[in-house]
Chains A and B, each alone.
Chain A
Amino acid sequence: MSIGSTPLKFKVSIDPDRCMSCGRCIENCSYGVYRKEGDDIRINSRNCVACHRCLAFCPRDAIDIEEKPNDYRSHPLWTREVREAIFNQAKTGKIILAGMGNAQPYPVIFDRLVLDACQVTNPSIDPLREPMELRTYIGKKPSSLTLKQLPDGEVELITKLTPNLQIETPIMIGHMSYGAISLNAQTALAKAVSRIGTFMGTGEGGLHESLYPYQKNMIVQVASGRFGVDINYLERGAAIEIKIGQGAKPGIGGHLPGEKVCADVSCTRMIPEGSDAISPAPHHDIYSIEDLKQLVRGLKEATEWKKPVFVKIAAVHNSAAIAAGIARSSADAVVIDGFRGGTGAAPRVFRDHVGIPVEAAVASVDAKLRQQGIRHKVSIIASGGIRESADVAKIICLGADAVYIGTSALVAMGCRVCGTCYQGNCAWGIATQKPELVKRLDPETNSVQVENLIHGWTLELAELMGAAGINSIESLRGNRDRLRGYMLDEGLMEVLDVKTVGA
């Protein structure tokens, strides 16, 4: 090989003064970095992905992991990543497969938006003392209500309401399929959402039997592969989500490699063991917005109009016009998945270069739906790169009703965002189907961690609202007056419909 080996991504070292040769690093590393030779622990740094499993379980803090130990000649255009991608493709001639969200250093719009707080004229509210209303209803709202006064003075509602999902906090967990993540990971998430009173998505992997006890907190997904979809599955979910696209890889389908289709994944997806699970790029019964309406109604008809139906699209240039079509399709919510959304596996070129930020997409979708007088017909769920409660508050100000989190929930279970989910070797038992790794993830303790995270964010959200003098999430929604852009350009501020700081 004339290119030779490329520089190490990470260099692992063990401090001999601190190491007591307990071997926990060897046991914990699923990537084959450590091995025992005689009394010594030997290191192969080339295998390291920086998942930090060894570091987290070393009782003596003896391990150090250094990123990029060797420098290239620095160059602003020919970055290390670009050069290494060329080496890789020169050797293989293939599409580069990558994991997690967009790895390009694009500016983060969230970090250039600041929230407002009350001073003097409009007193802030103390959430400890005053009730803060965070409960959110996801689904269609009527444009008007017809009421009838009864002889006894009571009032009867004549308008027929469509089913909504009631969530106790505007934070749900997005769709990560069984196959992409382990059953223990899904179980932990399911336990957490059912205790909190929120929802999670199944992803396109069917619903495993052991999750049936949590089905009233599950949103079942119907994607282009239709894996695991039958009438029982549709009826089990609290809502149904049609996945058109994903922020991490807009416009393309997905392939779950055969080696991840173990016996249990196979029966949940309803495909033979070891076969590739291929989700085509489009749904082959949806080639137009009219066809989408057909599937939305097909799902509603199958479940006798008892379930809300969501449509998830990747945030792309025309999201607003597409969402306007979705709002007219009988769908109850539109999920906008931004280009920072995570994934188990996506072509690097898509992950890093296709799609737009969720902040801009949500703001333009919300504006378009309001302009057309159809904002009440759908809820807006924002996903893709929601990292903290401030992001939740900001995206709600930009027009979202609620958010889906994905990566954040995985980080709450130990994920270090190493981005090698596609290898199926996750040392944390999250993105793997290997039984010896999956069993490392205890569903009970991890569910508590996920619950803690959402609880913490919910408390912070209440504090942020209180500080802004707002006691109901409804008053925060679309409330761009409580946002200011800090060093955002004029064009973007126009899209977001926010003023600059100081204005």
Chain B
Amino acid sequence: MTTVHIDAHRLHYTPLNQKIRAAIVNGATEIIIDNVLGQRFIGDGVRGDGVTITVNGVPGGDLGMFMSGPTIIVNGNADHAPGNTMDKGKVIIYGSAGDAVAHSMRGGRVYVRDNIGYRGGIHMKQYMEKRPILVVGGAARAFLGEYMAGGLLIVLGLTGITPISERGVGSGIHGGEILVRGPVDELHLGVGAKQTLATEEQKAMIKPIIEDFAKQFGIDPVPLLASDYTRISPASARPFANKYTWE
């Protein structure tokens, strides 16, 4: 394993990304970035299977945007839209993240240990073997999984806050599924979303993901697996099919 250290102190995001790209080209498999303070776009469009990028500090918005391959571990909170339109790889955040986490994500995983802002997992989509997964350890704000077209979103409610306490969950959802530990008030569901109690089969499907998440953050998975889950899914795959008449 080749490790490269980058000091991000007073470094603009473009030279920072250039250093990341250069390190990957030169065969680095572990890149550790220290003193990160609000630099946006870290790992933007970067390829590199098997590469781990550790971010020590607080990255700016669009962390891992369009990324295809690497794993980014953030020791801190993240700003808005980590995993934006991400294709492949992982973003693991030891803290909370801002709005639009995993916006339009196409593949890979985003794990957020604590809470996320508004519009988490908005318009995530899946195709063939590509199925994006967003797991939130704590709670999510309004419009979670809005316009969701595919993928899996799990909210665990581990931070002592009700996991879902705001409106618009899954509004316009037409693919994929949202699993929330515990009950969800019907009032919080958006137009086009429906909820059911997750079956044992459905829970079995998320078991390996929850185990992986728990292992990542050193959480005991047993109570998580024993809980009931609410499954929010599309009421129809064609939410707009009956809206129009031809001229």
A residues with a Cβ closer than 8 A to B are 85, 88-89, 91-92, 94-99, 224-226, 229-232, 234, 255, 257-258, 266-267, 270-272, 274-276, 278, 280, 284-285, 294, 297-298, 301-305, 347-348, 419-420, 422-423
Contacts and interface: CB of A to CB of B under 8 A. Distances in A.
Contacts of A88: 245, 247
Contacts of B119: 284
A89 B45 CA distance: 47
Interface stretch (B25-33, B146-154, B211-219): B146-154
Nearest to B126: A272
Contact of A276 (B17, B80, B174): B174
A275 B87 contact: no
B125 A271 contact: yes
Q: 8 closest A-B pairs (Cβ-Cβ)? A: A302-B45, A226-B104, A94-B245, A92-B245, A97-B244, A98-B247, A270-B127, A301-B44
Contact of A275 (B13, B65, B237, B247): B237
B119 to A, nearest CB: 6
B83 to A, nearest CB: 11
B226 interface: no
Nearest to A88: B245
A323 B205 CA distance: 48
Q: Most A CB atoms within 10 A — which of B147, B239, B244?
A: B244
B243 to A, nearest CB: 6
A298 B84 contact: yes
Contacts of B18: 304
A99 B246 CA distance: 9
Nearest to A274: B237
A95 B122 contact: no
Given A275-B174, A280-B147, A284-B100, A95 B244 contact: yes
B13 A278 contact: no
Chain B interface secondary structure, helix, strand, loop or mixed? loop
A285 B81 contact: yes
A301 B18 CA distance: 10
B1 to A, nearest CB: 25
A278 B80 contact: no
Contacts of A302: 41, 44-45, 65-66
B62 interface: yes
B247 A348 contact: yes
Interface in B31-48: 40-41, 44-45, 47
Contact of B237 (A85, A258, A304): A258
B14 interface: yes
11 contacts: A95-B243, A96-B246, A226-B125, A270-B130, A272-B150, A276-B238, A278-B147, A278-B239, A284-B104, A298-B65, A302-B66
Nearest to A258: B238
Given A270-B127, A272-B127, A301 B241 contact: no
Given A94-B245, A255-B240, A284 B123 contact: yes
B203 interface: no
A227 to B, nearest CB: 8
Contacts of B127: 266-267, 270-272
Contacts of B40: 294, 297-298, 301
A88 B246 CA distance: 8
B241 A257 contact: yes
Interface string B203-237: 00000000000000000000000000000000001
Interface in B64-88: 65-68, 80-81, 84-85, 87
Contacts of B21: 304
Contact of B17 (A232, A255, A270, A301): A301
Contacts of A284: 100, 103-104, 119, 122-123, 146-147
B137 interface: no
Interface in B170-224: 172, 174-175
B244 A96 contact: yes
Nearest to A255: B240
B106 A231 contact: no
A230 B123 contact: no
Given A230-B66, A271-B127, A303-B45, A97 B175 contact: no
Contacts of A348: 247
Contacts of A99: 247
Contacts of A347: 244
Given A92-B245, A297-B40, 4 more contacts: A231-B68, A232-B68, A255-B240, A285-B84
Contacts of B44: 298, 301-302
Q: Most A CB atoms within 10 A — which of B14, B149, B172, B242?
A: B149
Contacts of A304: 18, 21, 45
A98 B247 CA distance: 5
A270 to B, nearest CB: 4
A301 B103 contact: no
Q: Most B CB atoms within 10 A — which of A97, A230, A280?
A: A230
